[in-house]
Amino acid sequence: MKLRLFPQESAGLNLLAQMARQIVVATGTLSEILGAPASEHARLVEDMHNHEAKSAELHFALLTHMRTSFVNPLPREDMYALSRYLNEALEKLDAAAELVSLYKLERLSKRAADQLEIISRQAELTVEAMRKLDNLDDLEDYWIEILRLAKRAERTHRVWVADMLQEMKAMTYARHRDIANQLVDVTKDMRRIATQVGSIIVKES
């Protein structure tokens, strides 16, 4: 038997899925920034700010929905936690984009592209997972895969930092390390989302 929680109420889950989709879109914009000359950064960073603003708008829309809806598909504290982690992940992507522009960085390690690939995959999986939160039976694989990707991101981060320490002077290292830290922190936020989903699965099993 499929485990379903209030299948008649899906608006909240749709909002969570839209927030995850914003991360997919924002990751694409950040990839553009990393491949663009400094003269293009301002325009692309403005696009990123718009993605962050949209995420915040969806976050507040979900809060309003939870306050005004008699029936929610999940406990309010779980929906709030998922929404908060999604929004914080987007904020970190926005910060990474702004730092690239402020530091006028035109070339980053291929490790940055590796991290963005991981984030994009995490976000794509999360879009689908948010849509399925009223049917938890199929979400264990999501939980496990996000954790696997997060571990891969942490290994990539360690290698990236080690490479920078060997190859860069102190000031350059500090700037690139800021970007690296923002990106690995996004993967940690995505892991927090999956862990929250895991907690929901355990509570409702």
List, for residues 32-60, the tens digit of each pLDDT value.
Answer: 999 899 899 999 999 999 999 999 999 99
List, for residues 89-126, the tens digit of each pLDDT value.
Answer: 999 999 999 999 999 998 899 999 999 999 999 999 99
Q: What is the mean pLDDT of residues 182-192?
A: 97
Q: In residues, how long is the chain?
A: 205
What is the reported pTM? 0.91
Q: In a 3-state reduction of DSSP, which class is residue 4? A: strand
Q: What CA–CA distance (Å, rounded) separates 147 from 174?
A: 28
Q: What CA–CA distance (Å, rounded) separates 35 from 20?
A: 23
- Please count the other Cβ atoms lying within 10 Å of the Cβ belonging to residue 150: 21
| pLDDT computed for residue 1 by the predictor | 36
Q: What CA–CA distance (Å, rounded) separates 25 from 47?
A: 10
Least confident of 11-15, 41-45, 189-193: 11-15
| pLDDT computed for residue 8 by the predictor | 43
Q: How far apart are the first and last CA of the chain?
A: 12
Q: DSSP label at 52?
A: H
Q: In a 3-state reduction of DSSP, which class is residue 135? A: strand
| pLDDT computed for residue 6 by the predictor | 43
Q: Which of 151, 163, 165 is nearest to 115 (CA)?
A: 151
Rg of the chain over all Cα atoms, to the nearest angstrom: 18
